[in-house]
Structure 1
Amino acid sequence: MSEVGSGAGGAGGAAGVDGGDAARRSLRVALLDYGAGNVRSVRNALAAAAGSVAEVDVAVADVASAEDLAGADAVVFPGVGSFGSAMAALESRGLVGPLKAYLASGKPFFGICLGMQTLFEGSEESPGVAGLGVIPGMVRRFDVADAALSVPHIGWNAVRAVPKDDSPLAALAPGTRVYFVHSFCAVPDGGNAEWVAATTDYGAPFVSAVQRGRVVATQFHPEKSGAAGIGVLAEFLRMAARAAAGLP
């Protein structure tokens, strides 16, 4: 895993992850860039978020192999492109199995946009292509009856976070507006209810974030959502720091 950037926690006297003055730790964050687009904005957002996390020194590096996933303290998957091309790229790099194993390990994971959609069993965007299958159900194209609403859904919209323990989304005040760019979405239902961490309205409610344990993902782009998005990423890094320290 070749390091491409790092961020140091900012000053301000925050206690370490164990609540004391223990020596600062290094947090290894693997950025899953599978070649489908520019992830510079995500890398920059992680650096900005790391600047407010005084507990650890955050080192962000690209994933180059399955071993990089296994050795990471946290993984960030900023998916771009189509569902089928993303899964094909993961398969060609031998990362589908290792990524499933990582997700099953309980270690911190943050998916963004398509990085959230690939957690589902499949998508109408790419019929017959299996997703990672962590979350039950399919991702579907927006079915918008209101002529005033166009597809893709592009721009700022409000999220309603669902209360969960130790959730990075707790950083979002009710009604916070974040940035979306997508034509496909997951619809909240009984199959994915335990995963739903936030919903947003666009003609009808859709799933704008998921979380179970330390696996977190957002349909919106935190790296394009200003201070609110940086706050979510900072809370995720704090979660990852606690996990790396063996804390709940």
Structure 2
Amino acid sequence: MKKLALLLTLIACLSAQGVSAETIKLDKATVLVPQGWKVADEDLKFKKGTTAELNLRGEVVSAVLNKATYLRPTGWRQLINDYCFVETTDMFFPRVFHPWSMRYGAPFPTYGHIRYAGDRLVKFAADGTVLRGVIDEKVTLSLTKDGYGFVDFKSGTILAFAEDGYVTHGTLCSDTYLRPTGWQEHSSKNKLAGFIRFKSGTTIDFNDKGEVISGTLKEAALWYDDNGAEITLPAKATVHFTAKGVEIIKPEN
């Protein structure tokens, strides 16, 4: 009886954590419910011919979207551009003839949702938000809850979050000044107080403080090594930052 009780407890714990229990092949576009959802949506379908990971309750942990879909990311509270722009030729009634082609549109609130690309994998957190997926529009996020500053992430690229909501991975939409991990100890004394410019269109990884763990430099930057000697971080190099120093991966010529 004790072994049975222990087994049931373990199953319950795994289920609560959303652990994948089964992988199924979809023979048609299929309606499935993500883990953590309290209301099902029959319009949310996953792509024919792909696989879906389910938890012990039969809820989706990860699967490929059938079409571009608005979903709430795990870091939705840090969204800056919380609206979408809907364009139409039939927005105003009665319709008035114009001698030239005209289109109308208006912004609508998304309530913390962003559009994820169809035909691409999304991974859901235990609360039903999206941990990782390919975004189908530019997304602007605040890096931390208690500090000023936000970053634009590029459409058509992977955006990922930690379970507690901070962004962990994305692709920069423009050249951006950010502080790397270890900047207090290793950044060269300059007017930018530890900020370094990172290159547009390159991937970047963050820690929970909004500091860069890994990124590609736009231009050369000065840095101090563990011995206090000043070194140059090369332009266009990918640099991995730690509290103890850096690892430099130079671009291929």
Task: Tell me the TM-score normalized by structure 1.
Answer: 0.26
Select the structure that is richer in helix. 1
Task: Give the TM-score, by structure 2 length.
Answer: 0.25
Larger strand proportion of the pair: 2
For CA contacts below 8 A with separation 6 or more, give which structure has more relative contact order: 1
